[in-house]
Structure 1
Amino acid sequence: MVSGMGKRADVDAIVVGGGLMGAATAWALAGRGRSVVLMEAHEFGHKGGSSHGSARIFRRAYPDPMYVKLTGKAGELWRELEHQTGEQLLTLTGGLDHGASRGPKALTDVLKASRVQAELLDQTEAQARWPGMVFDGPVMFHPEAGVIDAERAVHAMIKQARADGALVRENAPVHKIELADDLAWVHTREESWTATTVVSAAGAWTTDLLAGLVTLPPLRVTQESVFHFGLADPSVEWPTFIYRDGVAGNVTFYGVPAGRDGGRPGVIKIGEHENGTVTTADTRTGTIDPAARQRVVDYVTKRLPGLEAGPFNEASCLYTWTQSEDWVLDRYGNIVVCSPCSGHGAKFAPLVGQLTADLATGERLETPLAKRFSLRTHLH
């Protein structure tokens, strides 16, 4: 610990990590007139973490009404960001949920109870509407689902944060954080800053960044594989979809129109929500797991005849998991911890930024959120 006696903070907040959550936090803080520095270890939009690419799924479909409510707030903030920056970031395609273990009827009931439009279709109706897919039971469709362009979103948030006065640093890895009585010191190789609050939005780097500073719950980092399949008929527009059948290891498969990531028009990105290879942010190989590839190919062959037989492109990204798959979003002294989002946080990014800004400015989250996302809850 260093002495902070008599020193005035350089800025109100320093945000470490310039992916979706960090960029969103900087945007939120700067928009409130707070002085903020955003520090990213690599270039903005880099492919080493969890916030790159043109295709992240947006959906309202959660079995938990709390998350359904949060998706609605996030959707409003995506539109606000689009209005401020002139960028198209969220494209609605509609979304499907099916498979016995996905619980389409229960999801329909939750969405309707939350006043979100949804309809439950039988197998025949769904097959007629989406002939490129194979269904074996009821299917839930909700129109407020679609695709988030994560890479453009990061740059849009940073652009607006800068316009509101934020300072940004890329290729500036933080190698040390020190705490004084009332200040936090953040050091890179080139410079040091002080702030009243440091926000850790470091994703897969969280454990290393906060070692010795914050008692964190167990966080598991995995490298997840995704695969791009061409549409047999590229003129057909597909919705996003999630399928979980309760067999073959109870794996959840998802699909989303790939946008630029696909490398050509008419491409669907397919991935698994589980089964990634355990790794760390700095030791990931980027090598695609052959077993994951085979599981996805088998799924596509059986369930998605509207796609070409094999993937022509593939990539990987990182998930940072909590044991419950709820987020960590809490304040511990001078440090705010956010962004371990278990692979389902991208859709919420602008809302997470606002909630993190609340914590950074000394406000409290609503009681249900504070209890659900607190460090204490994750540790016990």
Structure 2
Amino acid sequence: MTFEEIKALDEQYVMHSYGRFQVAIDHGKGATVWAVDGKEYIDFSAGIGVCSLGYGDPGWVEAVSTQAAKLGHISNLFYTEPYAKVAQKLCVRTGMSNVMFGNSGAEANEAMIKLARKYSFDRYGKGRGTVITLHNSFHGRTITTLAATGQDKFHNYFFPFTEGFRYADANDLDSVEAVAGHDVCAVMMELVQGEGGVLPLDLEFVQKVAELCAKRDWLLLVDEVQSGMGRTGSLFAFQQYHIQPDVVSFAKGIAGGLPFGGIMANEKCREVFSPGTHGTTFGGNPVAAAAACHVLDRMDDAFLAQVKEKGAYLRQAIEAMELPCLGKTRGLGMMVGIDVVGEQTNSQLAAKLIESGLLILTAGPGLRLLPPLTITQEEMDKGLSIMKAALL
């Protein structure tokens, strides 16, 4: 089909809930994709951080196809090998105790909130279910995760929102304590605020919040939907902050392109969910779990070290260009934010870059880079050349 034919079908039959760029992607290899008209694009977006191993990775394709031929799905009323194996790999690599699988980041964060409230209810009874989150955060698009999100622009249209959330300023412990009360059960935060602009939290602040949670028996909930699975140069960002959360959510890059997510809990939260208290039909799907096993096996110490090196290379190269519309960079690993300066908006710059052959994302008022973690030096340099030519 041509681009115009695909677009016409989309316009007629798909809800208009996405502001699409004028490109229809057909296939990809590595960190390069091709549109239906044959035009080549370097991908600095990875499906918003999902395609961690890029496109067409041979080991990933083999893991998915082998499992699909063996068992595509079975309910969680039965055991499966991929489910058990990926749970073991996650716990061994992180020091967490156990996991529960779902399908997306929003669903994982919903589960994390439910676990925190049930933990508190089991120990203290009713009236202690408030979760403190941070201004400028983003935790998902369900009613509850929108309520947890600390950005006013998301708090519209879908009233009434779920109650039980208060917002504190990032990197300000006094602000956290100011909104606290007897009804608090948890603090929930992204260690790198992704949609808010790729803003890493201060190390001291995160560690002080962890201490406060331990002192008051609040659960420390860490949203690693975007920052997890090698994106920041460690398997999870919390490992660089030298903390051990009570619960961690994950999704996006874990299955390399398939819908997969979940939460990991520590030992004191091991028994919070009992049979019937939470569940999801597709959570731990065998095909997605097999893909996740392969992704985790690839992310050894050498792989993660390369993620840090590639992220540093991209940031240094972008700042060295001294482009008039771009400012400083920030981030961890290959989760990179770029300040936008001048009269053009980040959306205008993103459209110009995509038209020139570079897929890129926006976040807050800036630009965001989430390339496949396997991107090659050649692909990085080609993408940087496109950026320079398009924005100079």
Larger strand fraction of residues: 1
* TM surpasses 0.5: no
TM-score, reference length from structure 1: 0.27
TM-score, reference length from structure 2: 0.26
Larger helix fraction of residues: 2
